[in-house]
Chain A
Amino acid sequence: MKILSVFLILFLCPSLLPAQYAAESENVCQSYLTIQGFGINSLGNFKEDWKDGAGGYVGYGLIYPSHWGLTFQTGYITFKENAEANLGTDPSFTIIPIMAGGRYYILLDRVRPFLTAMSGFNLVSEKSTREGHAVDEFLVKLGFQIGVGVQVGLFSNLAVEVAGKYNSHLLNPNVPYNATGLEYGVALNWTLGR
């Protein structure tokens, strides 16, 4: 019952928003804080070693009246070993991304579909055993994301966002062996000011 109540509130609140919400956002720059949880489905030869991942981002964003946005985010991603990979006991593969990027909001209304592209540095840490040799590496590598999402205003200062992104985090482009994957996540955005 509690879950149903929360769902109803979340569903109904958008329709109770002030009418000027959209009009205001057309004319002023907005800034917001964001917190996001997500999962990643690995792709390619990376998936043969590290099957899937999960993590969270915290970030800061700006939305301009011109429909463009700037975003900055950092977080933590951890991947699970592929059971068939045999990477030793307690292998781990983690990424701390530090990224900046842009967004283009197709609509600047209560519902805001957007395109996003981000790039930056990843602090990559791997502990595993490969072909009998212990691997304990810390690397700084480039990371890229591109994707689509939609942001829906819940209250005047709070919006929920869902996004799907393609990730291509460089590991070794000479092979190529990269942490590629499809990321899907949900975020809450708190508007700081207009």
Chain B
Amino acid sequence: MRRIAAALVLLLLSQTGLAQFDLNAQSELDTGFVANQALVDSLNPRKSLLIPVGEAIGMNLTLGAFNAYVTNSVFARISFKTIGENFKSGWATDADGLVTNMFAHPFHGSIYYNFARSSGYNYFASLGVAAIGSWQWEYFMENEHPALNDWVMTSVGGSLIGESFYRLSNLILDESAEGSERVWREIGAGVFNPGRLINRLFYGRTARVTSARLYDTAPSAGLLAFGMNNVAEGTNLKSGEKNGMMTFEYTYGRLFEKHSFKPMDFFRLYAAVNFSKQPGLGQLRLYGIIYGKNTSTGGKNRFLWGVFQHFDYLENNIYQIGGTAVGLGIGYRTSPDAPVVFAGTMHGSVLLMGAANSNYAPDYKVGFLDSARTYNMGPGAQGKLDAALLWSWGSFNVGYTFWWIHTWDGAPGDELIGMWTPRLRFKVYGPWSIGLEYLLYHREGKYKLFPNVSARNNEQRLSIGYAF
């Protein structure tokens, strides 16, 4: 009876299909929209670089005043003496919470970035403005030593998030719209991109009505899923706590249909939110292309190489991991016309800054830090695999990410952490699907002053998804 029921379920599920790589497995050439540069230059002329730099510093001064006079934060009590001391000491590291250092700082950086991006500057110049804004904050606005980890996460991580959110706000903005629709579009784009909203108000673009299309867009696809997960203490499937969760995954651009790329012409975003028993923000993971080339390897098969940028933040009751990386990636896709399509990418990157929770970290005291660290932090390397097999009825995805973090600050040693994420997804009806996912975390901690750590944990997920 059980076998019959299982067969019926599989038969029902086999009528459906959906995969996060669907967008890249489609052969229809919807290439999005590329704005006429001459039109952009005439209606949105590039502003002086002093404007976004001034905005970044102005935001720092405002936030610094808020910290000093409203929240009365000790770190914000600055003077010429504290600024001078920061120049004398040079870079250090800080021990703020993992959420602050590895998640909040990049979002702060995305605002700096978009001050410049929405003033007409490209990705690299805007990254430079984010770096200047963060540097000014670290050296001038705190009486603690300037933190190199903050600077890296704010400027590099902030640029990845900033450009991705710039692209998302492009999809929402419509300068031909009027009335309440226009207001909501501007506010909606501003939620993703507050730096751009400030400049659109400042430059008078929120009130402008024009039929000219000024902002590039690319085809995109997403999946919103609700379900349950179980994060186990070890590899025993029965242990652990059940938790309601929501996941959101989004693919912007066609990785295998463009011949060459500008930064974030393609990116993939994955977010997981927990409803109980686990930290609220379970995952926020993002990677995108900075530069790349596609070639045909016969028929519609495609091979791609490129430079990619990565941002990862993961937190559950067992693991806390965060970091930003830059490196090389390759990708391959078989013909979309075949009954089974393979699409995937593989990456090897320099982890510019990474962090992982450690029970030893609080035991390794650092004299100048004013709070206890809960994680080991430093640079290292990152590997990533993101691949899918696609059928008409569904998909099988395999994801794997590996982090090597060489501790700069925290318990001296190395953290070697990996996460497998195989997943089956079946179409059920129209855009609806069911997903089964198994996550296996493995960790080897090798320390100079403490016993090594070896651990395996698993997580299971069951979800109902809606594709859009």
Task: Give residues in A with beta carbon < 8 Å to B.
Answer: 43-45, 47, 68, 102, 104, 117, 142, 144, 146, 166, 168-170, 173-176, 178-180
Given contacts A104-B49, A146-B135, A176-B368, contact A170 B91 (CB under 8 A): yes
B46, chain A: closest CB distance, angstroms: 9
- Please, how many angstroms separate the alpha-carbon atoms of A168 and B367 in the complex? 21
* B409 on interface, CB distance cutoff 8 Å: yes
Give bound CA distance, A65 to B371, whole Å.
Answer: 48
Contact B135 A176 (CB under 8 A): no
Q: Is the CB of B90 within 8 A of A180?
A: yes
Give the interface centre of A169, A173, A175, A180 by most chain B CB atoms within 10 Å: A173
With A117-B131, A170-B148, A174-B408: A68-B90 Cβ-Cβ less than 8 Å: no
**9 closest pairs, A vs B, by CB?**
A44-B88, A178-B90, A176-B92, A168-B90, A180-B90, A43-B88, A173-B92, A176-B89, A173-B91
B128 at the A interface (CB under 8 A)? yes
Q: Which residues of B contact A146 (CB under 8 A)?
A: 135
Write the chain A residue with the least CB distance to B92. Answer: A176
* Complex contact A170–B366 (CB within 8 A): no
Query: Residue A180 contacts which of B87, B93, B128 (CB distance < 8 angstroms)?
Result: B87
In the complex the two chains form, is B87's CB within 8 Å of A173's CB? no
B268 at the interface (CB under 8 A from A): no
Q: Point out the residues of chain A lying under 8 angstroms from B88, CB to CB.
A: 43-45, 47, 180
Pair A173/B409 contact, Cβ less than 8 Å: yes
* Alpha-carbon distance A67/B408, docked complex (angstroms): 37
Query: CA of A178 to CA of B88 in the docked complex: distance in angstroms?
Result: 9
- How many chain B residues touch A (CB < 8 A): the figure is 21
* Interface core residue of B91, B131, B367, B409 (most chain A CB under 10 Å): B91
Query: B8 near A: Cβ within 8 Å?
Result: no
Q: Given that A44-B88, A102-B128, A104-B49 are known contacts, is A173 also in contact with B93, CB under 8 Å in the complex? A: yes
Q: Say whether B90 contacts A170, CB under 8 Å.
A: yes
Q: Which residue of B lies closest to A144 (CB)?
A: B91
Contacts of B51 in A (CB 8 A): none
Taking a contact as CB atoms closer than 8 A, the residue among A45, A68, A102, A166 that contacts B89 in the complex is A45
- State in angstroms the CA–CA spacing of A26 and B357 once bound together: 52
**Contact between B368 and A43 (Cβ–Cβ < 8 Å)?**
no
Q: Does B125 touch A at the CB level, under 8 Å?
A: yes
| Chain B positions within 8 Å of A175 at CB level | 92, 367-368
- What per-residue 1/0 map shows which CB atoms of B367-409 lie under 8 Å from chain A? 1100000000000000000000000000000000000000011
Check: B145 CB closer than 8 A to any chain A CB.
yes
* CB-defined contacts of A117 to chain B, threshold 8 Å: 128, 131-132
Interfacial residues of chain B within 79-94, with CB under 8 A of chain A in the complex: 85, 87-93
Within the complex, the shortest CB–CB distance from B350 to chain A, in Å, comes to 12
In the complex, per-residue mask of B413-439: 1 if CB is within 8 Å of any chain A CB, else 0: 000000000000000000000000000
Chain A residues with CB under 8 A of B91:
144, 168, 170, 173, 176, 178
**Nearest-CB residue, chain B, relative to A169:** B90
Q: How far is the CA of A56 from the CA of B275 in the complex (A)?
A: 59
Interface centre among B89, B90, B125, B148 (most CB of A within 10 A): B90
Q: How far is the CB of B19 from chain A (nearest CB, A)?
A: 40
Whole-angstrom distance between the alpha carbons of A127 and B126 in the complex?
A: 42
Q: Within 8 Å CB of B125, what residues of A?
A: 68
Residues of B108-166 whose CB lies within 8 A of A: 125, 128, 131-132, 135, 145, 148
Return 16 A-B CB contacts under 8 Å, by A number.
Answer: A43-B90, A44-B85, A47-B88, A117-B128, A144-B91, A169-B90, A170-B91, A170-B148, A174-B92, A174-B93, A174-B366, A174-B408, A176-B90, A176-B368, A178-B89, A179-B90
State in angstroms the CA–CA spacing of A166 and B139 once bound together. Answer: 12
**Chain A residues near B87 (CB-CB < 8 A):** 43-44, 166, 180
Once bound together, how far apart are the Cα atoms of A84 and B368, in whole Å? 25
Please indicate the chain B residues that have their CB under 8 angstroms from the CB of A169 in the complex: 90
Identify the closest chain B residue to A167 (Cβ).
B90
> Closest CB-CB distance, A84 to chain B, in whole Å?
17
Would B89 and A180 count as touching, CB distance under 8 A?
A: yes
Set of chain B residues within 8 Å of A144, measured between Cβ atoms: 91
A124 to chain B, nearest CB (A): 14
Nearest CB of A to B120, in Å:
11
CB distance from A76 to the nearest CB of B (A): 21
Chain A residues whose CB sits within 8 angstroms of the CB of B148 once the complex forms? 142, 170, 173
Q: A44-B90, A175-B367, A176-B91 are in contact. List 9 more A-B contacts (CB 8 A).
A: A45-B88, A68-B125, A117-B131, A142-B148, A144-B91, A174-B93, A174-B366, A175-B92, A179-B90
Min CB distance, A77 to chain B, in Å?
Answer: 15
- Name, among B88, B93, B148, B368, the residue most crowded by chain A CB atoms within 10 Å (CB to CB): B88
Closest to A171 in B: B90
B409: contacting residue among A43, A44, A68, A174, CB under 8 A: A174
Tell me the smallest distance from the CB of B142 to a CB of chain A, in Å: 14
Whether A173 lies near B131 (C-beta < 8 A) is no
In the assembled complex, the Cα of A45 lies from the Cα of B145 at a distance in Å of 13
The CA of A168 and the CA of B146, in the complex, are separated in Å by 11
Partner of B408, one of A43, A45, A173: A173
Cα(A180)–Cα(B145), bound, Å? 13
Least CB separation from B146: chain A residue? A168
Minimum C-beta distance from A111 to chain B (A):
19
Nearest Cβ on chain A to B64's Cβ, whole angstroms:
20
